[in-house]
Structure 1
Amino acid sequence: MNAINWFEIPALDLERAFQFYTSVLHGNVRKGTFGNGELILFNVPFNTGEAVGGSIVVREDLKPTTDGAVIYLNAFGKLSSAVEKVESAGGKVIIPEMNLGKFGFAAIIIDSEGNKIGLLSDEQ
């Protein structure tokens, strides 16, 4: 069991968000559909219950924000490699690196849509 079983990150422009997350997360996202809407999914085995799933969505009731909870995403490799790509992909680095000891390394960014997002990795 996980404390979180699904999350949604709001976007204003799904294609811009797709380009951002494709770059920063080393291609570990894919486009998909649910119902009548398009979304972006993370390439993790959430269907089997091995990972927590989530998506990036454009919805009338969701707006990007830098307030509130911070979701930490897997950087899918070295944290420094992901952080290096943030600004060229249209985001902003708020905290470039935090050493979390045995829990690895983290950074805080603003994504291309205006959301405060954490990146987490075992590799610096």
Structure 2
Amino acid sequence: MNTSVICWFEIYTEDIERAKKFYSSVLGVEFYHMPAIDDDVIMAAFSSPENMQDVSGALVQVKGASVNTKSCPSTIVYFPCINCSEEEGRVEKAGGKIVTSKMSIGEHGFCSICIDSEGNTFGLHSME
């Protein structure tokens, strides 16, 4: 299991090409196309699949979504878990909300999307 506090991040954008140009200019990074699990989602990873170690992330464009709204946050950080349903099971008792229960993300494992007690969106990620 990943031993970093955060294992993945997503920065949501309304124009992925504009965002790629911005981050490439500011950080000097290249982006790599990622296959998405939904036709309405375009993803570009900050690291190539061969170089994804510890923490990596992606720019994400959701067709028709406006960033910084209830339906589309601006950023999501994902916390690694052994089985994200365990941590998900504690979210509501701690004052949070489950947005999307544990779901498969194909060969990349599983994730849950939640909102913390302060209204921040975060994700839980596990391989089982």
Which TM-score band applies after superposition, normalised by the shorter structure?
0.3 to 0.5
What TM-score do you get using the length of structure 1 for normalisation? Answer: 0.44
Indicate the structure (1 or 2) with the bigger Cα radius of gyration. Answer: 2
What TM-score do you get using the length of structure 2 for normalisation? Answer: 0.43
